[in-house]
Amino acid sequence: MDYTEGKGWHDPQIVPYSPLTLDPAAMVFHYGQAVFEGLKAYRNHEDKAWLFRPDQNFKRMNRSLSRLSMPLIDEAFMIEALKQLVATEKEWIPTDSGTSLYIRPFVIATEPCFGVRASHTYKFIILLSPVGAYYSGGMKPVKIYVENNYVRAVRGGTGNAKVAGNYAGSLKAQEEAKEKGYEQVLWLDGIENKYVEEVGSMNVFFKVKGEVWVPALNGSILEGITRDSTIHMLKDWGVTVVEKRISMEELYEAYTKDELEEAFGTGTAAVISPIGEMNWNGHQMIINGEQTGELTTKLYDQMTGIQYGLLEDKFGWSVE
């Protein structure tokens, strides 16, 4: 679907997957007006399909669009479009083996112009791709490198928006962490380089002395939908969830006192991902003997249970 200033969004259509033709001067190539989302649809053997909290994705998408001075899209329209689109895709396998349909909505600036200003034309596209189970051989705790050289986001920047540039700026750190033998980067705040923000494409949680700590949203952390669902679920179980600024010093101190019991990331792709090891300025922290913790496992089972349609959806998260 296209946007033209004065006319608004127009001409929605469903077309087979094919390359896109854009003017080389299209502003997205030069000034980075590109916003995206990621969500999943699931399906059962009776051919019933559903989406997981799509309203939250499109609310976040509109917040991201607003941050980059791009035109908003009506949420109800987007959800309806998505339902129709999902109905056309018959190739993906029912969800009981962990398979799902990954959905990537995105908006890019298409106007050819060298001036630095918001584009007057845009394209909104939704891509669909069947994906297999994230963990084929059971959950495997990841090794995390706490980044102390690069920053992902600063307050007032675009860290809490899902914009392409945030990811471009994080690749170098990701590569360097991989070279050191770590799978993911844990970002600290961009002002004092002291407080925990999030992992590459996941929000992060720590179980300390029976409570669960999660970095409070501060304007530079992405408001993950799995993060929100996790907090709801934990509170529903009566677990104390503390949303606060968490410094690495505090976390390391808890670790040295044997009080850091579990750590995990949350995100659409992996859902819940156990963290087995963290390296902070050369301090190695082995969490729960590099084994997936009890709470982490329970969260994964319950969250995927609801997503796959195997457990009661008591929060009303699935949208048919």
User: Which residues make up the interface to ligand PMP (CB under 6 A)?
Assistant: 38, 198, 201-203, 222, 224-227, 266-268
Find out whether 220 and 242 touch, Cβ atoms under 8 Å: no
Task: Give the nearer residue to ligand PMP in terms of CB position, either 62 or 203.
Answer: 203
266-to-8, 75, 80, 164, 237 alpha-carbon distances in Å: 35, 24, 27, 20, 18
Task: Give the nearer residue to ligand PMP in terms of CB position, either 203 or 307.
Answer: 203
Task: Give the nearer residue to ligand PMP in terms of CB position, either 26 or 142.
Answer: 142
74-to-56, 117, 181, 259 alpha-carbon distances in Å: 13, 24, 44, 46
CB of 298 to ligand PMP, least distance (A): 18
Task: Give the nearer residue to ligand PMP in terms of CB position, either 121 or 203.
Answer: 203
Task: Give the nearer residue to ligand PMP in terms of CB position, either 190 or 224.
Answer: 224
Task: Give the nearer residue to ligand PMP in terms of CB position, either 198 or 277.
Answer: 198
CB of 180 to ligand PMP, least distance (A): 21
CB of 264 to ligand PMP, least distance (A): 12
Question: What is the Cα 165 distance to its own chain's centre?
Answer: 15
CB of 221 to ligand PMP, least distance (A): 7
CB of 226 to ligand PMP, least distance (A): 3
Which amino acid, residue 133?
A
CB of 227 to ligand PMP, least distance (A): 6
Closest CB to ligand PMP belongs to which residue? 224
Task: Give the nearer residue to ligand PMP in terms of CB position, either 85 or 186.
Answer: 186
CB of 19 to ligand PMP, least distance (A): 26
State the DSSP string of 139-178: --PEEEEE-SS--S--TTSSTTS-BHHHHHTTHHHHHHHH
Handedness of CA 71, 75, 76, 77 (dihedral sign): positive
CB of 86 to ligand PMP, least distance (A): 18
Task: Give the nearer residue to ligand PMP in terms of CB position, either 119 or 203.
Answer: 203
Quickly list H helices, the chain. Answer: 27-31, 54-67, 75-88, 164-168, 171-179, 225-236, 248-256, 294-307
Q: How many residues comprise the chain?
A: 320
Find out whether 34 and 109 touch, Cβ atoms under 8 Å: yes
Q: CA nearest 186: which of 171, 172, 197? A: 197
Tokens of 232: 């709801």
